[in-house]
Amino acid sequence: MKDTIMGPLGIELGEMTPERVTATMPVNSNTHQPFGRLHGGASVVLAETVASMGTWNLIDQENEMAVGLEINANHIRGKQDGIVTAIATPLHKGRTTMVWDIKIVDEDEKLICVSRCTVAIIKQKQ
- Report pLDDT for 2: 78
Tell me the pLDDT tens digit for each residue of 33-58: 999 999 999 999 999 999 999 999 99
Strand order, beta sheet including 64-75 = 12-17, 20-27, 82-93, 97-105, 111-123, 64-75
pTM, 2 dp: 0.96
Q: Which residues are catalytic?
A: 48
Q: With contact defined as beta carbons under 8 Å apart, do 101 and 88 qualify?
A: yes
What are the E-state strand segments in the chain? 12-17, 20-27, 64-75, 82-93, 97-105, 111-123
Tell me the pLDDT tens digit for each residue of 61-108: 999 999 999 999 999 999 999 999 999 999 999 999 999 999 999 999
What would you report as the CA-atom Rg of the chain, rounded to the nearest whole angstrom?
Answer: 14
Q: Is the dihedral of CA 94, 95, 99, 105 positive or negative?
A: positive
- Report pLDDT for 1: 73
Q: Check pLDDT > 80 for residue 126.
A: no
